Amino acid sequence: SNPSQQRQQMDPSEEEMTSNNADFPYSCDIDISFPTTKHAEQTKKVMEIDEEIGDRVLKSFSLRGEDNEIVRISFQATEAKFLRVSVSSFYDFLAVALKVYQEFDPTLAREEK
């Protein structure tokens, strides 16, 4: 299943994060769909470990979707450049996690071309 982006209603933890909007005017929400709830939960746990350095970016994770198969990552930053760097770093980390699934997870079938 390919990652996809969607917008959905925020949960209370994200609402708390957005209460600092005046201090963190730049934001980005990324939703990533996974083939199973297990993959979404594992990815969330792995990605949460990578904390932001300093206090210029806030990042939170939540599970969404009917079966919690979607991971939402919400970023807020004090400046656009910090948001860009944080999101870019996140995608680099995500690429590694997805490659691990492709290489080592026998439950994910590979498409042969």
Helix, strand, coil in percent for the chain, rounding step 5: 40, 20, 40
Q: CA 20, CA 28: separation in Å to the nearest integer?
A: 14
- The pLDDT value given to residue 101: 87
The tens digit of pLDDT for each residue in 67-84 reads 999 999 999 999 999 999
CA distance 65 to 63: 7
Q: Model pTM greater than 0.95?
A: no
